[in-house]
Amino acid sequence: MRAVAQRVSSARVSAGVDPIFVMGPGLLVLVGVGSADTEAEAEQLARRLVHLRIFDDDDHHMNHSVLDVGGTLGVVSQFTLYGDTRHGRRPSYSAAASAERAAPLIEDLVRVARGLGVPVVCGRFGAMMEVALVNSGPVTILLDTDPRPA
């Protein structure tokens, strides 16, 4: 699984004019599922996100996690994180999992994160969404459960 985690002051995800979620401080995470990913990768990524130390302590050092600061985890599925642009100008998405395979793994990630005590809000799987955020820092971190990403 691949993720782009952004430390945010606030974020809003909507489908057209209908808000899907609005969140305050926390992590907004765009998550892509690869065709070979399993529940193990979903659980691993959830744990990494919940415990990722990118929030400031009193000395302005990034020593706290979203769990430590009482923030929210916003999860938005995004298959385009598996876009391969090495050949030509149109990305290939052949390494991305099918919707039928990806949706349950996103749900697993959310379930594990909630089980670790973090409030989680989610985008709408497969929907055309608009994402608005205020990146705090800015801090943006790339995560990948594959030790050798393509």
Task: Provide the CATH number for the domain around residue 113.
Answer: 3.50.80.10
Q: Is residue 122 part of a domain?
A: yes
pLDDT at 150 over 80: no
**Residue among 6, 55, 72, 78 flagged as catalytic:** 78
Q: Is residue 57 part of a domain?
A: yes
Please check whether residue 11 lies inside any domain of the structure: yes
Catalytic one of 21, 80, 125, 140: 80
Q: For residue 150, is it within any domain?
A: no
85 is annotated as an active-site residue:
no
* Domain assignment present for 82: yes
* pTM exceeds cut of 0.85: yes
Is 135 within a domain?
yes
Average pLDDT over every residue of 88-114 = 96
Model confidence at 147, pLDDT cuts 50, 70, 90, reads confident
pLDDT by residue (tens digit) across 53-85?
999 999 999 999 999 999 999 999 999 999 999
Domain count, the chain: 1
> What are the helix (H) ranges across 39-126?
39-51, 66-69, 99-115
Its domain, for residue 70, covers 2-144
Percent of the chain with pLDDT over 90: 94
Name the active-site residue from 79, 85, 125, 140. Answer: 79
Q: Answer yes or no: 6 catalytic.
A: no
Residue 119 has pLDDT above 80, yes or no: yes
Does a structural domain hold residue 91?
Answer: yes
| 49 found inside a domain | yes
- Catalytic annotation present for 78: yes
